[in-house]
Amino acid sequence: MSIPIIRRGITVGDRKINSLINDLRATKKKLLEGGGEEKIKAQHAKGKLTARERINLLVDENSFTEINPFVKHRVNWFNMDKKRYPGDGVITGFARINGRPIYLYAQDFTVIGGSLGEMHGKKIARIYDLALKNGMPVIGLIDSGGARIQEGVISLSGYGEIFYRNVMASGVIPQISVILGPCAGGAVYSPALTDFIIVVDKISYMFVTGPQVTKEATGLETTFDELGGARVHAEKSGVAHFLAESEEEAFMLVRELLSYLPSNNMEDPPIVDTNDPADRMDEELNSILPDDSNKPYDVRDIILRIVDNGELLEVQSLFAPNAIVGFARLNGRTVGIIANQPNYLAGALDIDASDKIARFIRFCDAFNIPLVTFVDTPGFLPGIDQEHGGIIRHGAKILYAYSEATVPKVTIILRKAYGGAYIAMSSLHLGTDYVFAWPTAEIAVMGPRAAVRILYKRELASADDPERFLKDQSKKYADLFANPYIAAEMGYVNDIIEPRETRPKIIKVLETLENKRESLPPKKHGNVPL
């Protein structure tokens, strides 16, 4: 008698479960539609992808797992009870990129304009909490109308929760922001707190106040592009680190960038088999510098001959072009490259270059990436604008960053290394482990002509042929000081090498520094000259 009852119960249960599963499938299918067909069409009409399309392009195939897809906002003001969408305008979850696990969030502009409210913010904060616990990078795909005005101060609290986690995660896990639409008002400060910002030309916009408010406040008329377009932040403000021509290129940049980085500050960067011999020499380097030490050249030509397979991922390539920073590999291991660029401002250090270099040093130090510095600079850039703009304060950031960094540090002096810039550019005096110099190196307080004008001021004024006198004395000064030998005699340069030997020399030194251990004096934190 009991058997039919059990069978009957199972049959009834099957029907119920099947009904619930069908409901779940229908609900999840609805989730995939975001704000609906019309909103998706509008997104595509702007030349933009949807949040889910972006995730599928970015991550490894079938690796994304969504978290909290059913979350909705809790506010009823301003008819918001009629605008409840599952997910609340942001998709969050975890996935893999190049086989490595990451957490990510993607704001969905088709849902309430991707505006950030209380629950939207909580979803992003939850992703950060999980990423910090598990030591995994966070990638944010940002496309938002900003704070959800209908939620008032509640929406602002959401931003605050995210900002706090950005700071807590800084130096612990890599954070990458990809701007794929508007990012305005308080929203800009979360990307600004992350390690890298990628913008897309004609799609990305970042500003604290938009064109309309700017006009009302200042009377100046401007456009979205002129005020905070992708190129503005890549070239002028330095806010953006990479400029992409399309969303697809932006996602390729994310994948390439992550390939150089560890997942967290407790790991070393991944080792890649590049098939580039560690003992490879490049004879062209012996004749690559111009005979005239005042003649410019592109320092990239030197860097690309030294690093593995001639590959350099340059960071902020359009901003402060008198300095080069970026990631490369030597014998398969990630290194941070820093170099003066004689092709622009003769490689002099100015306010923007100082900020660019110092920030990059601190990122590399936080994530166990050795620093390799190529020096050719006549000094800090002179001028009223520079002095009034605070070149003293900004230049001090380089000194601070190099001195604070405990990762392996190797320096190669190519040509000019004058005055305070010689000290600042990873000199032995700032705790650098090894300093090499090419025979072309000029290490002195200042350039020969400037030195002679000071040393022989009276003689120069009374000379029959001042220009001839200046030229002769400059040559004598250069022969005495504008070379690497006195610095080598003092032990400030560890070795003078042939340029062709540079790659194998750096690799050998870095191998000896693999187990380097160095600690700073106990303190809560230092006071960076911000």
The 3-state DSSP class for residue 101 equals strand
CATH of 32-260, one of 3.90.226.10, 3.20.20.150, 3.40.50.10330, 3.40.50.300: 3.90.226.10
Determine the pLDDT at residue 255: 98
Distance (Å, rounded) from C-alpha 490 to C-alpha 443? 12
Determine the pLDDT at residue 149: 65
Active site residue 383: no
Q: Which of 34, 114, 185, 228 is catalytic?
A: 185
Active site residue 36: no
Task: 244-250: list long-range contacts, CB under 8 Å, 24+ apart.
Answer: 244/198, 244/199, 244/200, 244/201, 245/200, 245/201, 246/200, 247/48, 247/49, 247/54, 247/57, 247/180, 247/200, 247/203, 248/57, 249/200, 250/178, 250/180, 250/198, 250/199, 250/200
Q: At what angle do helices 51-58 and 247-260 cross, to 10 degrees?
A: 40
Determine the pLDDT at residue 76: 62
Determine the pLDDT at residue 3: 44
| DSSP calls for 411-439 | EEEEEEEEHHHHHHTT-GGGT-SEEEE-T
Question: Do 32-260 and 283-447+482-512 show the same overall fold?
Answer: yes
Domain-by-domain residue ranges, the chain? 1-27, 32-260, 283-447+482-512
Q: Which of 125, 421, 424, 487 is catalytic?
A: 421
Q: Which of 186, 210, 389, 419 is catalytic?
A: 186
Average pLDDT per 10 consecutive residues for the chain, totaling 530 residues: 46 74 84 86 94 97 93 66 76 97 96 84 96 98 82 81 97 98 90 98 92 86 92 97 98 98 97 96 97 94 98 98 98 98 97 98 98 97 96 97 98 96 96 98 86 84 83 82 90 98 98 94 94
- Element (H or E) spanning 96, and its range? strand 90-97
The DSSP code for 179 is E
CATH of 283-447+482-512, one of 3.40.120.10, 3.40.50.1820, 3.40.50.720, 3.90.226.10: 3.90.226.10
Active site residue 332: no
Q: Which of 171, 419, 420, 431 is catalytic?
A: 420
Active site residue 186: yes
